[in-house]
Amino acid sequence: MASERTAAAGGLLKRCKQALAENPVLLGGLALAPVVMVATTVKNAVALMIVMACTLVPVMLLEAVLAKYLSMVPDFARMALCAVFAAAMLMPARLAVAPLAQNIFDSLGMYFALTGVSALMFLHSPGREPEGPRFAVTDAVCGTLGFALAVFLTGAVREALSLGTFWGVPLGFSVKFPAMAMPFAGFFTAAFWAAAWNSLSRLIGRMGGGREVE
Amino acid sequence: MPGILTRGIILEQYKEPALNRPVREFFSSSYPGMLFESSLPREAEELGPEDIIRLAELAGIVDERDGEPLYRKLRQAAEQKVQIIVADAIDDEPYVSSQLGPMLKCSEEAAEGLRLAVKAAGAQKPYFAVYKNITDLMNKIPRTLEGITVKRIRGRYPAEFRTTDDFERGTSLAVLGVCSLIHLCRAVRDHRIQSTCFVTVAGNCVANPMNLEASAGMTVAQLLERCGLADDPGRVIVGGPMTGVACRDTEATVISAGTRAVLAFREDTKDRRYQCIGCGKCVECCPENLTPFYINKYIEKGRMEMLDFYEIDRCISCGTCSYVCPAKLDIADNIKAAKAARRKNTTGGLGDAR
Amino acid sequence: MQDKELKAPHIRMRESARSAMLDVVIALLPLYFMAAYFYGMRAVALGAVSAASAVAADMLCVLVSGRLPNLRDLSALVTGLLLPLMLPASIPYYVVITAAVFAIAVVKHPFGGVGQNIFNPAAGGFAFISVCWPSLVFSYPQPMFPLPIAGELTARLAESPAHALMLGAVPTIDTLDLVLGRFAGPMGVTNILVLGTCFIYLLFRKVISWQAPVAFLAAAAATAYFSPRIPASRWESVVFELLSGTLVFAGVFLLGDPVTSPKRGLSRFLYGALAGGATMLFRYCGGFEQAAAFALLLVNSFTLLIDHEAERLFRIVRRGILGFRAYRRSRRIVKKV
C-alpha cells in the first residue's frame, strides 16, 4: 500500500519535473505566436497567463473526465468540440483580464482569442500519453506554468529594453531600444531564452540524473 | 583556341635546374642482368605489331601515368583502331619533369619507342605532347623532335586530363607515357626488362635537383642522398606537390615504376588552419565545375546523402580547391576520403572509375 | 619523422583568410580618412569604438560557445569598421555600440558564425538601429564643420538627398558635389570616387567578386531609368538615385561579401540583380529613405536557394555540354590516376 503510493507519487514528481524542464513553449515550440507577437510588456504577459490558465485547465479536465464519451465522437468533431469549449472558457477569462489595464484588449488584439485556442496544442505536448486522463490536472498546471514562464521572461525583457519599465514602473535605464517591441525582436528574444533554458535544463538534468535512475 | 578559358590555376613551375641537367643513372648492382629471353629480332623493321606487343609484355613495361601494363594498352589501341598515338610528356605539376626531361635528353629512344607503338597499334600519326605554360625554361622545347611533331597543350593546371582537347575532333587517340616508350625501345633493342623508372628529385632542400633513372626498389633516402640534402627536410613527398603523398619514413619507402618525383621541402612557415570563410574561391577554380565549398561543408557535417547531388564522383583529385583555399582547409583530402568511404559502402560496384 | 598528417596538396597559395580580411580593412581606411576630413576626428573615434565593441562581442560569443578565440580572424573587426560609415557623424556612441553588438551577437553567431552566417551582420546591425532610432540615424550634419569627439553636439542637422528623393523632390545639389561627397549624408558613403577606387582595389586583390556589385548597380540604374520617381530627366534620375544613400557602399562592401552571397559567378549575377531590384522597390514603396541594408537582408535569405537551384542547373550543364567533352575524352584512351 504505502509502497504503491510512494511509487505513484514518484511518478507524479518525475512527470512534473519532466514537464517543467522541457518547457513546452521554449523547447517544444508550442503556442509561440502569442509569445512573439504580443508579449511586449509584463502586463500583456500576465494577461496571457490568465487566459491560458482559464482555458487550459478546463479543457484538460474535460478531456480527462469525458474521455469515454469523447472517444465515441468522430475525430473531426472531437477537436471542434474541444475548440468550442475552449472558446466558451474565454468568457470568464475576459472578466479576469479586464481589470489589469484600460486598453489591455487593444494591445492584445486577436491574440487573446488565439491564446485560448492554443490551449488545445498542449493536449499534444511532447511526452504526454495520447489518451491519458490520469495526470490531467498536473499536466494542465505544468503546461500553464511553462507557458507563463516563457511569456513572462519574454515580456519582461522586451519591456525593460523597449520602454525601460517593469509593469509601468520606470527602472532608470537611460537608453531604450524601441525596436524590441516589434515581432522580429520577439523572435530572437524567445530564441535566446530557449537557448538559455536548454542549457539550464541540461545542467539540472545532469545534477538530478543520479536520483532519477532508481 | 583551346586553353584560353580553362578553369584552374596558374602555378609557378620551378622545373629548372633539374630539367636542364642530363638524366643521370642510379642503378642497383643487378641492373646489367635484367634481360629477358626471346627469339624475336631486335630490328624494328622486322617486327610485326603483335611481336612488339609481345615484347612489351615480356619486358613488363608499366605506363607511369596510371600504372597499367603497356602491352594491354597497346592491344586495346589496336583493337579500337586508334589513329593517333600521343606520347605524354605533360608535366603540369611544379617541380616534376620526369617525363619532359627524358623526352628531351633521350629523344632518340623516345622517338623510336613512339614509332614502335604506332606500328603496334596500327595507328597513323605519332605526336609528343608537352605543357605550354612552363615559364622558366632555359632552353626552348623544339617544335619537332626526331621528325615527330611536338604538340603543346595549353591551359591552366590541371592540364593533363584535357590532353585530347588540343587534337582534332573525331580522331581517336591513345595517350601513353613517354618513359614507357623509352623502355619499349630498350626492350626491342636490348631485350631489357623494365627495372628502372625516371624520377625527378627536387625541392628547396635538395642540393642538386636532377632527373634520375633509378632502379625500382631503391629507397627514398638513397635517392635523396644521391642528390644531396642541403638541410634537414621538413616534408618529403613522393609524387607531385599537388597530388603526391607525404612520406613519413624515407628509409622504409621504396620507389616503383609509377613514381614520378621525390621532393624534399623545408617546413613551411606558420601553416595555420582557419575555419572556412565562405569565399567561394574553390568553386571558381574547380576544373570539373563542381562546388567544393558545399561538398566540404556536408562532409564535415557528416551528411553523406547530399554528396550524390553534388556529383562527387566527377572529382579528378587535382588538388586545386585546397590550393586556393585561403583558410588552408584540406578540401581535396576530405573529398578523397569521402569517396573512398562511399566506395567501401557500395562494394560490388564497377571497377575503378576515376 | 613527423607525427602530424601531411596531406596533399603540399603547396598552397600565399594568401590566407587573414590577408583577405586585411585587404578589406585597408580598403576602408581611405573612407575613414575622408570622413575625418569632412567631420573631424569624431569619425575615427566612432570607428574605433565600433570596432572595439564588435571584437569584444565576438570574443565573448566564441567563448560562450566553448571555443578559443582565434586572434587572426578579423571578420568582427571588418564588421565593426563597416557600421559607422553608414551612419551620420553626429550619432551618439551608444547607438554605434548597440549596432556593433547586435550585429555580432544576434545576426552573426546564432545564424552560423564565421564563414557560415546567412545574413550580413553589418546590414543587420544597421537595420536594427534604424528601426530603433530613425531620427538619430537619418539626420546628418553638414560637412566641413568638425564635430567634437565627446560631449554635447550643437551642430545643425539636415536631411540627406535620399530624403528629398523619397518625398519626390529633386535634390538641389550640384552633381560634382554629389560625387565628391560634399553634402550632408552618411559618413563614409557619400564620396563616390573613393568608393570606386576601393572597389577596384578589392577586385584586383580578388577579395570580392565583380558579378554581384555590377548586377546590383545595373538593376538599380535600370529601375531608376525606366520608372523615375522624381520630376527630372531619366538620366538625372539615374544619377541621383545611384549617388544618394548607401547604395554604392552597400554594393561594394556589403553585397560583395563572399560569405553571404552565392558561390557561382552566374548565381551572383542573379543575386545582385535581385538586390538591386529589391533596393529600388524598398525605396519607392517603403518607409525608410535608405533601403539598401534592408533589401540586402531580404536577398541574403535567398542565397542558399539560389545556390541549390544553380547546382541543379549545373548538373544538367555538366552532363550536357561539359559531359559531351568528358564523354569524348573518355572515348579516347585517356586515364588519370
For residue B27, which amino acid is it?
F
CA A185 to chain CA centroid, Å, is 20
What integer pLDDT is reported at residue C325 of this predicted model? 64
Is there a contact between A178 and C110 if contact means CB atoms under 8 Å apart?
no
Residue C50 confidence (pLDDT) above 90 = yes
The torsion angles phi and psi of A20, rounded to 5 degrees, stand at -80, -35
Is there a contact between C110 and A175 if contact means CB atoms under 8 Å apart?
no
Of B185 and C174, more confident? B185
In chain C, where the domains are located: 17-323
Is there a contact between A179 and C131 if contact means CB atoms under 8 Å apart?
yes
Same domain membership, residue B36 and residue B153 = yes
The C-alpha atoms of residue C99 and residue C96 are separated, in whole angstroms, by 5
What integer pLDDT is reported at residue B66 of this predicted model? 82
Q: Would you state the torsion angle of the CA atoms of residues C121, C125, C126, C130, taken in this order, to the nearest 10 degrees?
A: 150
Query: Which of C94, C106, C133 is opposite residue A188, by nearest beta carbon?
Result: C106
pLDDT (mean) for C232-242: 79
Query: Which of C94, C110, C128 is opposite residue A179, by nearest beta carbon?
Result: C128
ipTM over 0.85: no
CB atoms within 10 A of CB C271: 26
B121 touches chain C (CB under 8 A): no
Same domain membership, residue B167 and residue B135 = yes
Is there a contact between A175 and C133 if contact means CB atoms under 8 Å apart?
no
B242 touches chain C (CB under 8 A): yes
Chain C, 67-126: which have a CB under 8 Å from a chain A CB?
A: 94, 98, 106, 110
Q: Which chains touch A (3 or more CB pairs under 8 A)?
A: C
Is there a contact between C20 and B326 if contact means CB atoms under 8 Å apart?
yes
**Which candidate in A158, A162, A163, A175 is best for mutational testing of the C interface (most C CBs within 10 A)?**
A175
B46 DSSP β-pair partners = none
Same domain membership, residue B41 and residue B151 = yes
Residue partners of C47: CB distance under 8 A and separation at least 6: C32, C80, C81, C84, C85
Best-predicted range by mean pLDDT (B285-289, C70-74, C186-190):
B285-289
B244 touches chain C (CB under 8 A): yes
Is there a contact between B316 and C334 if contact means CB atoms under 8 Å apart?
no
- Of C95, C62, C313, the C-alpha closest to C187 is C95
- Of C157, C169, C173, C166, the C-alpha closest to C87 is C157
> How do the pLDDT tens digits run along chain B, 354 residues long?
455 567 788 887 888 788 888 888 888 888 887 888 888 888 878 888 888 888 888 888 998 888 889 888 888 888 888 888 888 888 888 888 888 888 888 889 999 889 988 888 888 889 888 888 777 777 788 888 888 888 888 888 888 777 777 777 777 888 888 999 999 998 888 888 888 889 999 888 888 888 988 888 888 888 888 888 888 888 888 888 888 888 888 888 888 888 889 988 887 655 666 778 888 888 888 888 889 999 998 988 888 888 888 888 888 888 888 888 888 888 888 898 888 888 887 754 444 444
Is there a contact between A191 and C110 if contact means CB atoms under 8 Å apart?
yes
Residue A214 confidence (pLDDT) above 60 = no
Distance from CA of B350 to the nearest CA of C (A): 16
Among chain B residues, the shortest Cα distance to C12 is held by B323
B130 DSSP β-pair partners = B152
Same domain membership, residue B66 and residue B167 = yes
Same domain membership, residue B174 and residue B213 = no
What integer pLDDT is reported at residue B349 of this predicted model? 45
Q: List CB contacts (< 8 A) between C98 and chain A.
A: 175, 177
Is there a contact between A179 and C110 if contact means CB atoms under 8 Å apart?
no
For residue B18, being part of any structural domain is answered with: no
Is there a contact between B82 and C332 if contact means CB atoms under 8 Å apart?
yes
Q: What DSSP character marks residue B9?
A: B
For residue B299, which amino acid is it?
I
Is there a contact between C132 and A177 if contact means CB atoms under 8 Å apart?
yes
Of A129 and B151, more confident? B151
The torsion angles phi and psi of B314, rounded to 5 degrees, stand at -85, -5
What integer pLDDT is reported at residue C213 of this predicted model? 92
B243 touches chain C (CB under 8 A): yes
Query: Which of C94, C106, C131 is opposite residue A175, by nearest beta carbon?
Result: C94
What integer pLDDT is reported at residue B143 of this predicted model? 86
In chain A, where the domains are located: 28-212
B250 touches chain C (CB under 8 A): yes
Residue C99 confidence (pLDDT) above 90 = yes
Q: Which chains touch C (3 or more CB pairs under 8 A)?
A: A, B
pLDDT confidence tier of residue C336, bands split at 50, 70 and 90: very low
What integer pLDDT is reported at residue B351 of this predicted model? 46
Same domain membership, residue B143 and residue B242 = no
**Which candidate in B164, B204, B269 is best for mutational testing of the C interface (most C CBs within 10 A)?**
B164
- The DSSP H or E segment spanning C158 is strand C157-158
Chain B, 88-117: which have a CB under 8 Å from a chain C CB?
A: 94
Is there a contact between C263 and B76 if contact means CB atoms under 8 Å apart?
no
pLDDT confidence tier of residue C81, bands split at 50, 70 and 90: very high
pLDDT confidence tier of residue C332, bands split at 50, 70 and 90: low
Is there a contact between B333 and C325 if contact means CB atoms under 8 Å apart?
no
**Which candidate in C97, C102, C132 is best for mutational testing of the A interface (most A CBs within 10 A)?**
C132
Contact C282, C289 (CB under 8 A): no
A173 touches chain C (CB under 8 A): no
Is there a contact between A179 and C106 if contact means CB atoms under 8 Å apart?
no
Same domain membership, residue B289 and residue B260 = no
Q: List CB contacts (< 8 A) between C129 and chain A.
A: 179
Query: Which of C94, C131, C133 is opposite residue A182, by nearest beta carbon?
Result: C131
Residue-wise pLDDT for A70-99, tens only, equals 777 777 787 788 888 888 888 888 888 888
Size of interface A-C (CB pairs under 8 A): 15
- Region for C79 from its dihedrals, namely left if φ exceeds 0, alpha if ψ lies in -120 to 50, beta otherwise: alpha
pLDDT confidence tier of residue C128, bands split at 50, 70 and 90: very high
pLDDT (mean) for C56-70: 87
CATH value at residue B144: 3.40.50
Q: Which residues of B78-117 are buried (b: 16+ CB within 10 A; e: fewer)?
A: beeebbbbbbbbbbbbbbbbbbbbbbbbbbebbbbbbbbb
Distance from CA of B96 to the nearest CA of C (A): 13
Residue-wise pLDDT for A21-70, tens only, equals 778 888 877 888 888 888 888 988 998 888 888 888 888 888 777 777 77
Domain count within chain B:
3
Same domain membership, residue B309 and residue B201 = no
- Of C83, C68, C173, C67, the C-alpha closest to C130 is C83
Is there a contact between C318 and B289 if contact means CB atoms under 8 Å apart?
yes
What integer pLDDT is reported at residue C242 of this predicted model? 81
The C-alpha atoms of residue B340 and residue A97 are separated, in whole angstroms, by 65
Grid coordinates representing A211 are: 536520483
B203 touches chain C (CB under 8 A): no
CATH value at residue B208: 3.10.20.600
What integer pLDDT is reported at residue C322 of this predicted model? 62
Q: List CB contacts (< 8 A) between C17 and chain B.
A: 274, 277, 279, 326-327
- Structural domain containing residue B202: 196-265
A196 touches chain C (CB under 8 A): no
For residue B10, being part of any structural domain is answered with: no
How is domain C17-323 classified at the architecture level of CATH?
Orthogonal Bundle (1.10)
